[in-house]
Amino acid sequence: MSLLPIERERSPMAYLLDPGTDIPVGERSIRVEDYLNDKIQITADLGNLSSLLDNVELKKRQLDEQLKDAKAKLAEAKRASANHTSSMTQKTQAFDRQQEDLRVRMMMVVSSQTPEEAVRRLEGPMEKLRQVELAQAYVELLKDVDEMTKEARKNLPDSPTEALKPYVRLRKLAMALRAAQESTEGAGIHLVSYVDQTSTQLWAQMVQIMIKEFQDVLKALNWPDLGVEVSREWQTCFGRLLDLQAPEIREAREPLVLLPFAVLVKDLGLKFRYHFMGTTPTSASSNVSSYD
């Protein structure tokens, strides 16, 4: 009866040992001899030599794969350990800074004779911190105001409706700041004044851009010649002015002078004053009928 081979669990270190360098030559020879004596005990076992060699080759490949996998896991563990160490170092440094800041503040409190004195000692640093935070908020708000102004100008004269969107936001901001100023008894007056003036100037610039576009079209049509034919450009500019004035029209409680009509009437008014209110010969009242 042939003996069944007994498989022993390999030590983890066995996977990391290189038989060619880590095991002495004499010991390797003894191990090979023991292995052959165990596997070839009778003459019949020599017939299984080919199968035995195949089995040895298979185990060798398996061991090579296990060795490769073990080395990869070891390298990954080293990288993870290094990353963890770096992260812990940063957290430790941040914690040390916080501890130092807390220590300084505690020293200020402990060295004070009374709670009132401790409060007075902390007022200076806290006020500086408040001023820094307030300055940062001011800068962010001014950046927002500048971006809204640029966005509105960028959309003119082609898209007055789109230009109104940032303008409306800017106007609402100015109104909110003014209301907040009243509730805080006049705090931040310079900022409120700046935002309010910026929104007012932006509206004036927007109106002027749109009016100039319409005036250029009217000039090309030789307005106020009453025989002029309305062109597509005339209609476009007329509509854009109404679009720009739309919010004002919706909120008006009294009749408004529409911007396109104000532009049209302006040239007529100038011509009327020239002929009938000046010192020219045509200004005589008897000549009024000739301009009907």
Q: What is the DSSP string of 86-139?
A: HHHHHHHHHHHHHHHHHHHHHHHHHT-SSHHHHHHHHHHHHHHHHHHHHHHHHH
pLDDT band at 30 (very low <50, low <70, confident <90, very high): low
Share of the chain above pLDDT 70, in %: 65
Mean pLDDT value across residues 211-229: 85
Query: What pLDDT is recorded for position 270?
Result: 61
Mean pLDDT in residue range 237-262: 89
pLDDT for residue 198 is more than 90: yes
How sure is the predictor about 151, in pLDDT bands with cuts at 50, 70 and 90?
very high
Q: What does the pLDDT average to over 48-63? A: 79
Q: CB within 8 A of 70, min separation 6: which ones?
A: 12, 15, 16
Residue with tokens 């292995």: 35
Instruction: Give the per-residue pLDDT at 201.
Output: 94
Distance CA 274, CA 204 (A): 28
Q: Which residue has the higher pLDDT, 200 or 134?
A: 200
CA distance 88 to 82: 10
Q: Could you give the CA distance from residue 63 to residue 57 in angstroms, rounded to a whole number? A: 10
Give the list of residues 6+ apart from residue 271 with CB closer than 8 angstroms, or none. Answer: 224
Maximum alpha-carbon separation in the chain: 149
Q: How far does CA 22 lie from the centroid of its chain?
A: 58
Question: Is the pLDDT reported for residue 31 higher than 90?
Answer: no
Percent of the chain with pLDDT over 90: 22
State whether the Cα torsion 269-272-276-282 is positive or negative.
positive
Average of per-residue pLDDT across 169-189: 78
